[in-house]
Every structure is written in structure tokens, then in C-alpha cells.
Amino acid sequence: MKNLLNKKILLIICGGISAYKSLEIIRSLKKSNAQVKTILTKSAKKFITPLSVTSLSKEKVYDDIFSVENESEMDHISLSRWADLILVAPITANTISKLSSGASDDLASTVILASDKEIYLAPAMNVRMWEHQSTKENINKLKNYGYKIIGPDIGDMACGEFGKGKMSEPNEILQQIELYFKNKKNNKKFKALVTAGPTREYIDPVRFISNQSSGKQGYEIAKSFRDNGFETTLISGQTNLDPISGLNFIKVETAQEMFDQTIKNLPADVAIFTAAVSDYKVSNYKNKKIKKKENLNLSLEKNIDILNNISKHNSLRPKLTIGFAAETNDIVDNSLRKLEEKNCDWIIANDVSDNSIGFDSDENQISIFYKDKKNENLKKMSKSLVASEIVNRVIKKLN
């Protein structure tokens, strides 16, 4: 597994009979010349010993968040930052429940909650526990948070029952992790550009025309491109979101500024225009603040259409040009019309009349309309997961 060479893997081992399989995972990672650090939960030490783990990893075992020695050598924040990827194998129903609620009462859960890296979970539990409604709901929550789930498999269990709940075999787990690094490496050749958030068109120095866009979906898409290895540029209007590290982040205000920065940062392999650009700007801008006693007569003119301009550009058009359509009615007709008129490859539409998936929501429900007139409707999910779904399709298309 050449794509694991020199990769830093933090392996978290929870309690359960499947914990013995984690030793094989460590052995295989080391054989692939990956660096491995481990955390054992309190219950994990009832099934495997720290000595067996450290003898394979050639590193000390971290197990107690209150250990002065551990914190002085590498605190829980540094440990999460050290890793290129975090793998929890096995993860129990109890830890799944803990993570789904955001709890952090030991080193393992604290590191996971503090992490900004890709996190893979390999569940292992009794079939009835896996099929319990609470576990299903917790798993769905974790998927929406962006966790990647491997397994579980179907088979005979240590308790004597048969069904779904066995931890996936170490080789299968490692193949998925290796595929993640392989894709990330391959995607480095690609350049992505994303626009996000609202634009502002000023009336005077303190007043402006804008809209309710939060920028959340565009930011999540940019993060997903970054996490998948793309050289990523995010051009953002004024939002309340924090700048994103690890990519080219550009803040703008007006549509013209966004267009200028878009041109400046092309060419790109893919561009996704999620920004809610003001359709109109004020042609009679006032250099001084307009007083209440003055009559306010606004003269508007059409703004530059960034998507339309880029999608029809002779030399700078990205290989894959994708527009967003925030609609309140006639989503199918409006999206297909926009797809043709704007010369896009895809149009991604959502119904912003639904407040639960509107501009400022953390969830979204989209439909993707393709140039060949095909379309697909995705279920309601977190904007983070929507971003992953979109970027996975982009990767498939570009390759």
C-alpha cells in the first residue's frame, strides 16, 4: 500500500472483542511505512494491553486525558493536529452515542471532537445493538457531521449470534484508507474555484442592497475540495463565517469585485458558483450618507452575470462549470432553463422557500440537473454531506 508511505495515522481503539483486530491494523500500517500513534480507551485495555500495542507501533500508548506525562509530551489538541487521518477501530455503540451528542469525557472523544482531519469509524457490536433505532439515528448524525463509516460486516459473532455488526476485516479498512490518500494525491493535479455568500451593492457609504445568503454551502464545498487534495480558491462575499485555512481565501463585497477575482484566479478545472450575486446595482451611488430628510430615489442597472460570463468565455471557461439555483417555485423548469441559458454543465438547485433548508440552515436538499438532461434528487442532509456528495461527483467526472 504505497499511498500509506509516511502517512501519520492516529488509531483509537475502543473496547470490545474486535479490539484484537486493531493489532493487525497496526502491523499492516507499519509494514506500509506509515507512522502510527494510538489511544486506548479504558474499556479497550480489558481486551488488549498497552504493551502489545506499543510493541507493534514502536510508540507510546495514550490512554488518560488527565495524565501529566501525556499532556506535557503532546496534549490532546496537538495529537489531533499531528495526524493526517484518524481511525477508530473498533468503535462501540457507546462511543458512537457519545460522539453523536458531542460529548468529550476522555482522551479519545476529546481528540476526535478537537480534530480537523478526516475521521474513519469501524463499528463493532451485537447485531441487535447495531439494528437499534438509537444506533441508526446516531450513525446518521455522524455521517452528516462528515465521519466516514466502514462496515460493519455480516457474520458469526463472539456472543454466538449471527448478523450485521462484525468489525470489517483489517485489510478492508486499510484499503479504504489507502484509497482516500490515493484519491487525494491524484486530485492534486486539479484546481477548483468556488464562489460563496452574498454580494453587496452600495447605495451610499453605509447602505447597500444584498440578500440572506449565509455562504455556508459554498464554504463546505470549498472545504471538501481542499480535503480531497484540490488546489482550491474560495471567493467569498461578506459572511459571518470564519476564513478557511489551507486554501486561497479571497473576501470581496460587490459583484464586480467577485467577477474580477474570478477572472484573476482562472483557469480552473472546476468552478462552482454558489454565491448569491445581486442581480442589480445602484447607478446613482451617493458619496455621502443620505439623510432622512432627503428623497431617496434609486436608479438600478443590471449587474454583471458572473456565471453566464464565465460559462461562455472562450479561453477561461473551466472544464466543469456548475451553477447554483436558489428557487422558490417551478424548480425543475427554472433549473433546466438556467442550465441552457447559462451554458452550464450542471445546475444544482434547492428550494429556499423551505426555511428548514434555507439560506442560514445547516441542512440542504438539492437536485442536480446535468447537461444531458438527466437529473437526480438528493435527500435532505447536512450541508457538509451535500458538499461531499457534490465533490465526489466532480471527482468522478474529472477522472
- Would strands 231-236 and 153-156 be described as parallel, antiparallel, or unpaired? unpaired
**Residues 39 and 171 occupy one common structural domain:** yes
How confident is the model over 302-333, as pLDDT tens digits? 999 999 999 999 999 999 999 998 887 888 88
d(CA 243, CA 234): 9
**Residues 258 and 213 occupy one common structural domain:** yes
How confident is the model at residue 355, as a pLDDT? Answer: 67
Name the pLDDT band for 159 (thresholds 50, 70, 90). confident
How confident is the model at residue 87, as a pLDDT? Answer: 98
Residues marked active site are found at: 159
d(CA 207, CA 205): 6
What is the pTM for the complete model shown? 0.83
Does an H or E element contain 97, and which?
helix 93-100
Residues in the chain: 399
User: What mean pLDDT is reported for the chain?
Assistant: 91
**Residues 96 and 215 occupy one common structural domain:** no
List, in sequence order, every residue forming a beta bridge with 248; answer none if it has no partner: 233
Single out the residue in 130, 165, 185 at which a domain terminates.
Answer: 185
Residue 55 C-alpha cell reads as: 510493541
**Residues 181 and 237 occupy one common structural domain:** no
Highest mean pLDDT (candidates 42-56, 158-172, 343-357): 42-56
Q: What percent of the chain has pLDDT over 70?
A: 96
- At which residue does the C-alpha cell 440537473 appear? 369
**Residues 181 and 272 occupy one common structural domain:** no
CATH number, domain of 154, equals 3.40.50.1950
**Residues 339 and 387 occupy one common structural domain:** yes
How confident is the model at residue 372, as a pLDDT? Answer: 82
Residue 300 has pLDDT above 80, yes or no: yes
d(CA 16, CA 95): 11
**Residues 12 and 103 occupy one common structural domain:** yes
Provide the domain limits for residue 263.
190-398
**Residues 152 and 246 occupy one common structural domain:** no
**Residues 241 and 175 occupy one common structural domain:** no
Calculate mean pLDDT across residues 162-189: 93
- At which residue does the C-alpha cell 461531499 appear? 388
Q: What percent of the chain has pLDDT over 90?
A: 74
**Residues 138 and 197 occupy one common structural domain:** no
Reduce the DSSP state of residue 279 to 3 states and report it. Answer: coil
Single out the residue in 185, 220, 238 at which a domain terminates.
Answer: 185
How confident is the model over 31-77, as pLDDT tens digits? 999 999 999 999 999 999 999 999 999 999 998 665 656 555 556 78
Name the domain count of the chain: 2
CATH number, domain of 260, equals 3.40.50.10300
How confident is the model over 264-292, as pLDDT tens digits? 999 999 999 999 999 999 988 888 888 88
User: Of 314, 55, 16, 343, nearest to 165 (Cα)?
Assistant: 16
**DSSP H helices in 275-382:** 306-311, 331-341
Order of strands across the sheet with 231-236?
248-251, 231-236, 191-196, 270-273, 320-327, 346-351, 366-370, 375-377
**Residues 34 and 114 occupy one common structural domain:** yes
Reduce the DSSP state of residue 342 to 3 states and report it. Answer: coil
How confident is the model at residue 68, as a pLDDT? Answer: 57
How confident is the model over 219-265, as pLDDT tens digits? 999 999 999 999 999 999 999 999 998 999 999 999 999 999 999 99
d(CA 344, CA 42): 54
**Residues 125 and 161 occupy one common structural domain:** yes
Single out the residue in 136, 170, 185 at which a domain terminates.
Answer: 185
